[in-house]
Structure 1
């Protein structure tokens, strides 16, 4: 009997986009079960690859090129995505992301370019914004993005503070009265991070070291973010919102603008119609680069599995490496195991994703 199989992987960070992963799994699957109907619904959690996932899953989506000031001040060619319903998807990783840096800049990277892309989408008439904020290079509390949107951040001498975490150390006053209004249908922040802005589980302490910050820098960055909180009306309450610490505090900055926090995987699944695609499906295949203990906390496989359970659809897993119990899946495939090692899997990810697709098709025949 021919089956209807939904392919809903996340990106395999740094090696394959979600769309590339879905295509490769499909190629492998068809070598074993060519008559099966394969429905590609590449997923994302608000990080790198979110825009690509929407572009692949939403008919009529169109990329709009934009040039912005990157996190190291160099011009950066990026794009935002327009959807047929008037929604614009803007991805921070493309404009202010850590992969855009030749060298890490823990104190001086910023989110100005992300804000510039948001402005471009608003100028084009976007009625709703989906703001994917994973993959950040900075810990600026979203001040760069807010500055692009019309916010003013001054030191004690009423001079504009410099961009980045370092500049927040001189912040004395924040004037948000000139911020661009939200679009008609609002703005959603897509992130799977639930950290608050400040403290031992905050933006600086948890994510600063990944961006090159030393322990001394982390302490200063947390203090500087606290200055921002004091300068913003209602800052204390917003700083405690789960997700305010996402993307170096960009979650906090967007909350001050009036955007609302949304679970990244869930919001993406809603937008691409994953639940509708699962209706009547015989199987769904999901995956990510590493399936580990964090995968159950809002990552793509857990979101897909939850929706599949509601629909009564079994789930198979593909991952670069499987470092947690995967017995809850109908079948699983590890690229590392198939390739004979992590280095080999990462060197040819699409080859081994194809192999995984074929292996799953055989095991579930």
Structure 2
């Protein structure tokens, strides 16, 4: 039997690669002769770089000590360069919200470190860029990232603005003369959101509260993003422009970057369709399976592609209100027990699925096509 294991990360407990490996180990305890293809997934957020480099041979991962973290303190960034000249940068690595710990910084958090990682990729010969945008700590419209690439954002006295979305309300001039050119093969932005830059569905209003912004902060961030859009041009109303605190907008306006759904792009990079061709079953998973999981996220992408290939999908989740989903919480007896030994329970889930593999479940094209063993 040929089984494709394509989980997303179980956030905070297991990377996608570790989750796939644990499911495989458990599966082989029950069915050691099956052919298992591991395709750990991501949707453009945290874990995208690890998932893609684990599945694509030949990638060179460069660790970049001394990148500027979201609060200005140094962090270790990263970029991956593939043999065809494509480079991948994950925003969360240098500019992610978890890097702040409990001390959120809604007005001052910066994407500068991601810009430094992008510059490092260009310095290493990247001819085409993929930037995974999920998990950002701030709402600076990509200003910090672009500043690291040579864009100058000046106040009315000609002084460089400090980093952070809170300073953009003072923007008076944008100087593009020192901005590095985009790579010749272009820039694609991977995201799982379709929000515009501004307004009630925009970056500040929707995602600002998650980053510590109160009502007054949101108003100031909105004012700053609007001012950035007035000076930088582009299309702030474009779907996805609000991704990563407006970073998608900034890169589109300054560099002509295009936005694409991250899960679909990652699936293409991993060769998921080829892996599914002729498979008998696909297994996906994530930390929490809910009504949004089948819309633009990794599990939904795997499910849809498997359905097109005529392959049934089952899902393993850390938690889910859907009784048809096999959960680590159900196996472990509690959410705390599941989180504390996530890889153990993923191995157990793999063994349970393998033991029940002969059972027939719902049709592959009926979402969610889930039939875990009881």
TM-score (norm 1): 0.95
| Secondary structure of 1:312's aligned partner | coil
Check conservation: 1:293, 1:324, Cα contact below 8 A. no
Question: Is structure 2 residue 101 aligned with structure 1 residue 99?
Answer: no
Name the residue aligned to 1:48.
Answer: 46
| Preserved CA contact (<8 Å) 2:77 2:113 | no
Partner of 1:353: 346
Bigger mean CA deviation after superposition, 63-72 or 50-59: 63-72
Structure 1 residue 307 corresponds to structure 2 residue 305: yes
Cα deviation 1:257-310 (Å, max 9, x = unaligned): 211101100000011111011111111101111111111220011101111111
Checking the alignment, whether the CA contact within 8 Å between 1:286 and 1:304 is kept in structure 2 is: yes
**Aligned residue number for residue 110 of structure 1:** 110
1:320 equivalent in structure 2 = 318
The farther-off stretch of 18-27 and 288-297 is 288-297
- Per the alignment, residue 129 of structure 2 pairs with 129
Judge conservation of contact 2:196–2:238 (CA < 8 Å) in 1. yes
Partner of residue 370, structure 2: none
Match of 1:278 among 276, 279, 282: 276
Secondary structure of 1:169's partner? Answer: helix
Deviation for aligned residue 1:179: 2.0
SS of the residue 1:247 aligns to: helix
Distance 1:30 1:213, change over 3 A: same
- Compared with structure 1, are the counterparts of its residues 294 and 124 closer, same or farther at alpha carbon in structure 2 (3 Å cutoff)? same
Partner residue in 2 for 1:212: 212
Q: Following superposition, which runs of at least 4 residues in structure 1 exceed 3 angstroms of deviation?
A: none
Q: Which moved more, 1:212-221 or 1:90-99?
A: 212-221
What is the count of residue pairs matched by the alignment? 355
Structure 2: how far apart are the matches of 1:248 and 1:233?
17
Post-superposition offset of 1:38? 0.7
Alpha-carbon distance in structure 1 between the residues aligned to 2:47 and 2:210:
19
Pairing 1:362–2:355 present: yes
Structure 1 gap ranges (5+): 327-331
Out of 342, 350, 357, the position equivalent to 2:335 is 342
Deviates more, 1:40-49 or 1:288-297: 288-297
Q: TM-score, normalised by structure 2?
A: 0.93
8 Å contact kept, 1:192–1:264: yes
Q: Which runs of 5+ in 2 are unaligned?
A: 359-374
